[in-house]
């Protein structure tokens, strides 16, 4: 599967933005965000929502939420689980609903006006959050219920909600002095704006650069499909007759992989790896420094030695030492393998009569040449079998065989962009489970990467399940002319990955929305997504969904055999660049003293410390490391590999019986996918597997043992 397994595009933000429709919305307004959704399945009325609707909608939602909080605080009755904890859980439904719509659209189809509003709203929403969690009277009621917990006869989910509610207040600073609460409020407000600024700078830098090629000779080595996509991009940008390559992954990565022109590879590579580090209006160096130092200040204010210690307390890893133990265990064999790969590339360069030292912009190009020579494997030979429609239907079919789910395309549901697809998801008994939105192609209004979010979280109301509305967003290779979108195998795996997150949200079956679906620790949330990638690559599954887009013939056994033989090829490089980025994340967030100098020195020192070779850079350099500075993965980028230990072991549970073993699938659904945050992740996994996960499956898959 080469590098995809550690290409973690995914930024799961559902736990932050999900919500359910409020029943207190006024009916006297023409603002569609404040009216009952009179749409199929009560989805957001995207066709009626304008940017101008958001601010007044947020203002009304904040007013309603404040009123709901005041009702809890001023309740003359003694605090109980129902009138305090459940009431708090149910408050803010309108705010969550509006926030989920705004956040999702702003990430996938933003405008300058939305970005400006996002930065304006950030400190307002931060202050609102602080006003709740730092309210002494409200915390006193929560604490009162918490202290009586052993005498309340709560069931398991009630007990978890109570514990999480109390812990949420404490971790938000409820026990701080008044002086320190004011300090914390200022820190939170500033961090909220800086995170938005980082993401917007990253998008601006990505969109600002284009490599314009006007000589066809400079396209030597590029497949026809890549050249045609660049010609289409040029036409869209008013440069017909030329070829335009951008810094979006479907454009820049094929160029680095295939283009023979080393000078142009270097040019686009430098633009790619210097994003946010160009000394212009979108430079992120000072933004990062402020974010890191403020996070540390906040952690110490709350009684933790570092931001990582604060974050990891709520994870399976528990503390920075356990994260470093895993990273170091993998780093040593991965770096050794990468050095072997580098030596092999050096030989290829020499054979190519090159008189230069291997550079980062050479790696993918020569690795592809070696792969072709070693395995007779050409990606252009693979892509015709991975049309977007075939891969999507393959993911749907896998879910059907595992869990009995069916996906029905809808054309009567409003969407935020014409390219968005919508599916009704039904359970094996035909009952409605939820809706799935899918947005697959890159555009200037969409941030890079791939992620899952939700417009409505699963929960319970009046004893009935509230069906979730889930969305997956990607940046895949676009259709070219009459040719459908043909995906690389990495992209196909990404689709299965995000679909796994979607299943986590869709199959959730808990009482409280704050505990539903993907509202779990970062190093557990990637298990449901990454385990699905195993089916994407399995020969039996490939034969069922990888069909040639023209002949409709299944992918031949000979091609599958080539893919399997090349399975661990390039894994030294892939693992090293991923783990290097994980170390970089920890270098910023496990630190116990603020950054005194520049962030460039932090990155350089950390890469020197771990011994990263010059021909490889971290998968994400500091100034465009969106996962950790604006994506919710601070001190958590390691989680992809932590979860891969789980997913490799989990897939082994199926392989020990059969790919679609009914009992194993039922157990995975019941103990993992349905549970949300209603149980300890390690215990949930042990209940499913009958034992702790064995890292040997990961090491074998990576070829690192």
Q: Which residues are catalytic?
A: 498
For the chain, report the end-to-end CA distance as a whole number of angstroms.
17
Output DSSP code: residue 413.
S
Q: Which residues contact 363 (CB under 8 A, 6 or more apart)?
A: 345, 573, 615, 616
Cα 191 vs. chain centroid, distance in angstroms? 20
Q: Which SS3 state, helix, strand or coil, does residue 408 take?
A: strand
Q: Which SS3 state, helix, strand or coil, does residue 410 take?
A: strand
How far is the C-alpha of 161 from the C-alpha of 167, rounded, in Å? 10
How far is the C-alpha of 685 from the C-alpha of 694, rounded, in Å? 12
Say if residues 247 and 206 touch (Cβ distance below 8 Å).
Answer: yes
How far is the C-alpha of 3 from the C-alpha of 533, rounded, in Å? 12
The Cβ of residue 305 has, within 10 Å, a number of other Cβ atoms equal to 14
Secondary structure of the chain: what % helix, strand, coil (to 5)? 60, 5, 35
How far is the C-alpha of 265 from the C-alpha of 257, rounded, in Å? 9
Say if residues 549 and 13 touch (Cβ distance below 8 Å).
Answer: no
Pairing of the two strands 432-439 and 469-473: parallel
Say if residues 257 and 488 touch (Cβ distance below 8 Å).
Answer: no
How far is the C-alpha of 222 from the C-alpha of 224, rounded, in Å? 6
Q: Among 58, 69, 56, 65, which residue's Cα sits nearest to residue 29?
A: 56
Residue 84 has φ and ψ, to the nearest 5°, of -120, -60
The Cβ of residue 16 has, within 10 Å, a number of other Cβ atoms equal to 15
Cα 257 vs. chain centroid, distance in angstroms? 25
Say if residues 213 and 260 touch (Cβ distance below 8 Å).
Answer: no
How far is the C-alpha of 88 from the C-alpha of 139, rounded, in Å? 11
């Amino acid at each position: 599967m080469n590098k995809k397994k550690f290409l973690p595009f995914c930024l799961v933000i559902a736990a932050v933005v999900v919500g359910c429709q409020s029943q207190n919305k006024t009916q006297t307004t023409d603002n569609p965000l404040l009216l009952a959704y009179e749409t199929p399945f009560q989805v957001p009325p995207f066709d009626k929502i304008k940017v101008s609707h958001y601010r007044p909608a947020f203002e009304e939602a904040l007013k309603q939420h404040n009123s709901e909080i005041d009702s809890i605080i001023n309740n003359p009755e003694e605090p109980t689980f129902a009138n305090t904890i459940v009431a708090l859980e149910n408050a803010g439904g309108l705010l969550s609903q509006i926030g989920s719509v705004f956040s999702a659209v702003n990430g996938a189809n933003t405008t300058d006006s939305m970005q400006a509003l996002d930065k304006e709203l950030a400190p307002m929403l931060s202050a609102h959050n602080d006003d709740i969690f730092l309210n002494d009277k409200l915390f006193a009621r929560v604490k009162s219920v918490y202290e009586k917990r052993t005498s309340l006869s709560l069931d398991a989910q009630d007990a978890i909600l109570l514990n999480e509610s109390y812990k949420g207040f404490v971790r938000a600073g409820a026990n701080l002095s008044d002086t320190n609460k004011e300090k914390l409020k200022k820190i939170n407000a500033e961090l909220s704006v800086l995170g938005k600024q980082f993401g917007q700078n990253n998008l601006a830098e990505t969109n600002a650069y284009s490599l314009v090629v006007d000589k066809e000779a400079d396209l030597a080595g590029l497949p026809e499909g890549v050249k045609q996509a660049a010609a289409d991009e040029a036409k869209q940008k008013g440069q017909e007759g030329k070829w335009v390559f951008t810094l979006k992954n479907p454009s820049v990565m094929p160029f680095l992989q295939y283009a023979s022109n080393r000078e142009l590879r270097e040019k686009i590579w430098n633009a790619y790896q210097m994003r946010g580090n160009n000394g212009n209006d979108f430079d992120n160096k000072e933004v990062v420094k402020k974010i890191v130092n403020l996070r540390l200040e906040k952690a110490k204010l709350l009684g933790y030695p570092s931001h990582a210690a604060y974050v990891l307390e709520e994870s399976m890893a528990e503390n920075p030492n356990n994260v470093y133990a895993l990273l170091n265990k993998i780093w040593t064999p991965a770096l050794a393998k990468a050095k072997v790969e580098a030596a092999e590339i050096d030989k290829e360069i020499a054979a190519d009569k090159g008189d230069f030292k291997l550079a980062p912009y050479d790696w993918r190009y020569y690795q592809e040449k070696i792969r072709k020579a070693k395995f007779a494997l050409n990606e252009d030979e693979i892509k015709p079998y991975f049309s977007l429609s075939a891969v999507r239907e393959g993911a749907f079919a896998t879910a059907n065989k595992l869990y009995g789910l069916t996906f029905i395309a809808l054309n009567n549901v409003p969407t935020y962009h014409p390219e968005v697809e919508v599916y009704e998801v039904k359970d094996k008994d035909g009952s409605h489970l939820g809706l799935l939105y899918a947005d697959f192609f890159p555009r200037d209004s969409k941030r890079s990467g791939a992620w899952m979010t939700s417009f409505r979280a699963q929960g319970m109301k009046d004893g009935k399940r509230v069906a979730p509305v889930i969305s997956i967003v990607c940046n895949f290779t676009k259709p070219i002319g009459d040719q459908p979108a043909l995906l690389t195998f990495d992209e196909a795996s990404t689709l299965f990955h995000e679909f796994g997150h979607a299943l986590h949200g869709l199959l959730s079956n808990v009482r409280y929305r704050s505990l539903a679906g993907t509202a779990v620790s970062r190093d557990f949330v990637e298990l449901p997504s990454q385990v699905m990638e195993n089916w994407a690559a399995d020969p039996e599954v490939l034969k069922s969904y990888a069909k040639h887009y023209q002949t409709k013939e299944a992918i031949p056994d000979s091609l599958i055999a080539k893919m399997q033989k090349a399975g661990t090829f390039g894994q030294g490089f892939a693992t090293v660049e991923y783990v290097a980025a994980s170390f970089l994340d920890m270098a910023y967030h496990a630190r116990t003293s603020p950054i005194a100098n520049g962030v460039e020195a932090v990155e350089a020192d950390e890469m020197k410390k771990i011994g990263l070779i010059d021909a490889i850079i971290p998968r994400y350099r500091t100034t465009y490391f969106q996962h950790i500075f604006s994506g919710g993965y601070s001190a958590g980028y390691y989680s992809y590999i932590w979860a891969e230990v789980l997913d490799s072991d989990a897939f082994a549970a199926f392989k020990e019986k059969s790919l679609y073993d009914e009992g194993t699938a039922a157990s995975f659904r019941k103990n993992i996918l349905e549970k949300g945050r209603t149980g300890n992740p390690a215990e949930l996994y042990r209940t499913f597997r009958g034992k702790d996960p064995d890292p040997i499956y990961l090491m074998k898959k990576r070829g690192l043992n």
